[in-house]
Amino acid sequence: MEDFKVTKVIDIGNGVKIGGKNFEIIAGPCAVESEEQMYEIGKFLKDLGIKLLRGGAFKPRTSPYSFQGLGFEGLKILNKIKEEYNFKIVSEIMDPRDIEKSCEIIDIIQIGSRNMQNYSLLKEVGKLDKPILLKRGMSSTIREWLMAAEYIEAEGNKDIIFCERGIRTFEDYTRNTLDLVSVPIIKSLSNYPIIVDPSHGTGRWELVPSSTKAALAIGADGAIIEIHPEPSKALSDGRQSLNFNEFKKMYKDIEILKREINNDRNG
Ligand code: PEP
Ligand code: MN
């Protein structure tokens, strides 16, 4: 098996690419909560040089009584931040009926873990000319995940980015078990890039920096990370969200590790 296999490069626009020799960091809150929260996060990430902003407007929550996201209001907020700071936007779509309207704002459509086998949704996003971030189902095998990607591909869309976000096991110290070996396995079985989500993969912010470094070291093409200005007040996934200081420290460490890995590989 080839380490650091170079995959297809997915062009997101504005010079942003996922795949190839790049390790791209996508960051932002679990959910868009308010304009104020998003301006704060947007400014912080822009100053660091991050180009891809995540933020859920439609949230798949386990309980119907939990915060469900701001919906189209959330997308409007994302659009303001996008225009202000020139980000590319990553956000989840759950309902095929929301695709058309959302596509005006979202640059990478996230298919969440709970929808990895929602075949009608996969077929609909397969018809788009827009990159798809396909998260691994929380109880899905690598083969099932690859087949889900084929549903998208079969409709014509060949801009797919896999995202390992952890799977359910007997282990309950962490929210999920982050199956990092899926990275070289997916790379050996497909030509698409794969990124890692250490936030959902662990459920604990203190494990996010080390997991992100491990993702880089195992050959992932990037990571998607949840941050929040005040994680204890987050409306969703605060426990796994980094605050600004923690994120900044991790980002610097990743930059150093990236250089070391590249020097080492280039001789
Ligand atoms: C998310 O990205 O906030 C999310 C809900 O992810 P997942 O589908 O992996 O649980
Ligand atoms: Mn989340």
Among protein residues, the one with the nearest Cα to ligand 1's atom 4 is 112
Burial class (CB in 10 A: 0-12, 13-18, 19+), 3: exposed
Question: 206-226, pLDDT tens digit by residue?
Answer: 999 999 999 999 999 999 999
4 Cα–ligand 1 center, Å: 26
The mean of the pLDDT values for the chain is: 96
Which residues are placed with Cβ below 5 angstroms of ligand 2, an ion? 30, 237
The percentage of residues in the chain with a pLDDT greater than 90, rounded to a whole number, is 94
Predicted confidence (pLDDT) at residue 107 exceeds the cutoff of 70: yes
Contact 248, 208 (CB under 8 A): no
pLDDT tier, 266 (very low <50, low <70, confident <90, very high otherwise): low
Averaged pLDDT, 45-74: 97
0.95 exceeded by the pTM? yes
92 Cα–ligand 2 center, Å: 10
Could you give the CA distance from residue 117 to residue 130 in angstroms, rounded to a whole number? 19
Domains in the chain: ranges and CATH: 23-58+68-266 (3.20.20.70)
Contact 202, 175 (CB under 8 A): yes
Q: What is the pLDDT of residue 5?
A: 84
Ligand 1: which residues within 6 Å by Cβ?
A: 30, 56, 60, 112-114, 135, 165, 197, 200
Q: What is the pLDDT of residue 2?
A: 63
